[in-house]
Structure 1
Amino acid sequence: MKNIVFDLGNVLFKFEPDEILDGLFNDYHTKEKLKQSVFKTTIWRELDRGSLSLFQAKKLFIDKNPDLKDEIEVLLDNWKNFLHPIDENVKLLPELKKNNRLYILSNFHEEAFNYITNKYSFFELFDGMVVSYEVKLIKPERKIYEILLSRYSLVPQDTIFVDDTEENIKAAQELGINGLLYKSELSLEDLFKLEKVL
């Protein structure tokens, strides 16, 4: 039996800022400005960390970009509706659950996390989760991995961590956790077969 730990964004859920912006806005320049002034900011990261509420973040975004006030409000009120499960990966969970324990370790905003956990029943398959906003830490900070290991008494050598970001995988490996870098060229199912967990 292994402990299999999943990231959420772009492993179990699609998170593509360009798609979100395309779904909400038509003007190219508006979309580019929003991408830079919302998604690619430390404010967005601090939402993940849980050090800012959505209300506080919205105010900061608007203070910095008053010309985009209406668009920022539309974006922050609606972006979570574009978080869709990656079906071919989610469908592996029941099979993996038969012989393994499943966990989540993810950087995620509180409001969006509550939204997806209430909407999708497959979260019931997980034995535990550590989410950034809750512990006020974000990957690849070492402490967030240590919390996962200690909270659930996981042995690093018996634990596989799946993430789409190399620096997050490296941070896990430094603690002795087996890292599995997921990029969509190879399916998650094939990666697990190579690891002999499927």
Structure 2
Amino acid sequence: MISSHIKNLLFDLGGVILNIDFQQVALSFSKLSEKDIPFIRQQIEERRLFYNHEVGKWTDAEFRITVNHMLETSLTDEQIDQAWNSMLFDIPQERIKLLKELRKTYTLYLLSNTNAIHIQEVNRILQRDHQIYSLEDLFDKTYYSHQIQLAKPSADCYQYVLKDAGILPKETLFIDDSALNIQGAKQIGIQTVHLQTPATILDIFR
């Protein structure tokens, strides 16, 4: 049950709205490069592949160059993007329906640690499966780490959203599947729900 003082709902994307599997990235890069998965995972961590792309330190082109250096390959942009996007699955119809219903009562925001390549693919999934043009059609405003150049769980990231949206932390409920991200939001007074598998957002609003 959501408290009556909540006016704003702030959602994470991957693992909350969108079904994902981070392990697919290492598997896909391994198949393309014929390097083993432990090596790929180590390289991803050492090069901070996700973080540097997500906070806009690298352009998409620089990210792809880094991947080829990392794998010692000459993959095309399309091959890299397909492997990078392999972690993105689907958005179930019932979650779309729930967001539309919630928007009648609350102001909805999206805050995601993400990158331009992934957002383009998520929007393609929305168009293909739900005839919805983009995530912007489901939320009052979207905040992407690569655009604001701030990432969860940094307090600065949450403060940016609160200030830009003109909303109060005590009136805002943040839903994320990461315990670290939840803790970061709690520290500045945002109300939170830690979504843990197998629960989905439907369970929160029953």
Question: For this structure pair, what is the TM-score category when the shorter chain's length is used for normalisation?
Answer: 0.7 to 0.9
**Aligned pairs (5 A) from 1:83-98:** 83-87=88-92, 88-98=94-104
Q: CA deviation at 1:21?
A: 5.2
For residue 35 of structure 1, report the CA deviation from its aligned partner: 3.4
The correspondence of residues 29-68 of structure 1 with structure 2, limited to 5 A, is 30-38=36-44, 41-66=47-72
**Would you identify which runs of 4 or more consecutive aligned residues in structure 1 move more than 4 Å?**
20-24, 26-29, 70-75
Residue 23 of structure 2 corresponds to which residue in structure 1?
18
The separation in 2 between residues aligned to 1:93 and 1:39, in whole angstroms, is 34
The separation in 2 between residues aligned to 1:105 and 1:48, in whole angstroms, is 12
Residue 138 of structure 1: aligned partner: 151
Distance in 1 between the 2:35 and 2:110 partners? 36
**Structure 2: 5+ residue stretches without partners:** 1-5, 127-131
Q: 1:129 aligns with which of 117, 134, 142?
A: 142
State the SS of the aligned residue for 2:175. strand
**Deviation string, structure 1 residues 80-109 (Cα, Å, up to 9, x no partner):** 255233314333211211211110011001
From 171, 174, 179, the equivalent of 1:166 is 179
Q: Give the match for residue 6 of structure 1.
A: 11
- 3-state SS of 1:14 partner: coil
**What amino acid maps onto 2:53 in structure 1?**
L
- The structure in which a higher percent of residues are helix is 1
TM-score by length of 2: 0.79
- The answer to whether the aligner puts 1:106 opposite 2:119 as a matched pair is no
C-alpha change, 1:74 and 1:38, in structure 2 (3 Å) is farther
RMSD over aligned Cα atoms: 2.7
* Unaligned stretches of 5+ residues in structure 1: 194-198
How many residues were matched structurally?
A: 191
Deviation at 1:113, TM superposition (A): 1.3
Q: Distance in 2 between matches of 1:41 and 1:191?
A: 36
